[in-house]
Amino acid sequence: MPPFSSYTEPPLMQSFNINLSLSLSLSLSLWCEFASEVIHSRRIQKLMGDISVSNGISNGNGVNGKNHSLNGYRKSCWYEEEIEENLRWCFALNSILHTGASQFQDIALLDTKPFGKALVIDGKLQSAETDEFIYHESLVHPALLYHPNPKTLFIMGGGEGSTAREILRHKTVEKVSMCDIDEEVVDFCRSYLVVNREAFCDPRVELIINDARAELESRKECFDVIIGDLADPIEGGPCYKLYTKSFYEYTVKPRLTRNGVFVTQAGPAGIFSHTEVFSCIYNTLKQVFKYVVPYSAHIPSYADTWGWVMASDVPFCLSAEEFDLRMKQRIKGENRYLDGRTFASASTLSKAVRTSLENETQVYTEGAARFIYGHGRQNQD
C-alpha cells in the first residue's frame, strides 16, 4: 500500500503532491485540511528525507526550516496518533521542527498548537511542552521523597533530560547516572529541548550510552533510587525486556541500597486502558518487592490517565503533611503539580482499577509480555 490514501481533487483544488519523508512509525499520521476537504496520509511508514508540498504549507517556522504556502487553500495540518484500533487522537500543528531515525527508533519533534513542542518516538508522543511537568514530577519526586536521604540515582532511559532536571532539584543528590541506549535520541533532545540543557551540563550528571540492563549488571555500586523512564513496552520496541520479573529481581533489586526505592513509568492507567500493561507491571513488581505503590495522573497530551509504580523493601510511610515538609526542606523551587495531597489522591485509584490490580495474575516475562498498542521499528522491518 502506498503511504498516502488516494485522493481526487475537487474542481477548485490545485493538484496536491506531498512527498512526506518522516521517519515515523505505522501509527503516526498527518492530516492537512484545505477548504472543506481533508487529505489524510494513512500510515506513514519508513519515509526518508524532507517534507515538501508542491503547492506549499505555510507553517510559521516552516517544515524542516522551509516556508511554504497553499495558495490560500490551507486551513491547518494535524498530527494523529492511533491509540488503539478504533481510536485515534489528533491535534493541530504549527510545524514539524525535525525528524530523524536512529538505529533503534524513529524520532520527530513537532510544534503543536495545543501542547507546544512535542517529542514523538516510534509514533508515540513521549512528552509535550505544556504538560510534561505532570509526568516528570510524578515519576521523580515521590520516590526521592520517600527515601530518607537520596544521594545516588540511576535513570534507565531518560534521554530527553527532563527526569534528570527534576532529580537535580533535590538538594541531597550528589550523582545521577543517566543510561540511554540511543545516543541519537539523546543528542536530538540535547539540541532541540532547550529547557533541559542545564541538566545535561550539570557536573553531577553522568551520561552513559548503553543498554540499561548491561550497564546495571556491569556496575558494582548500588543506588539509592533507580528510575525507569523507559519507552513504552510496544511490540518490536527496544524496551519491553526491561519490564520483566527477571530484570527487576536479578538486575534492578541487587543494585539498590538498603533503603533503596525503584520507580517506573507503567503505561496507560485509564479506566479502560490500565489492563494493557499497568496492572501486569504492578503485579510483576509485587513478586519482587515487599511494598508496591501504584499511582496515576491525567496527562492531557496523552489523552489518557498515566501510571507509575513505586517499589521497595522498606514501607512507604509518609503522611501528606510529612510529604510536603520534605518537599519544602529538600527541593529547590516550587512544583507545579505534585504535593502531598496530590500524591495521596494519585495513589488512591478508582474502584475498577483497584479491582483489576488485585485480580491481576499475569507476571511480565519475555515469553509472556504485554504491549501497549503500536509497533516499534523492528516490527516494521
User: Known catalytic residues?
Assistant: 229
Among 194, 231, 205, smallest CA distance to 105 is for 231
The length of the chain is 381
Q: Which residues contact 359 (CB under 8 A, 6 or more apart)?
A: none
Crossing angle of helices 132-146 and 320-330, in 10° steps, is: 100
Report the amino acid identity of residue 342: T
Sort 162 into a burial class: Cβ within 10 Å, 0-12 / 13-18 / 19+: buried
Measured CA to CA in angstroms, residue 331 lies from 141, 161, 165, 203 at distances of 9, 18, 12, 18
Give 30's strand partners: 41, 79
Please tell me the distance from the alpha carbon of residue 97 to that of residue 300, in angstroms, as a whole number: 21
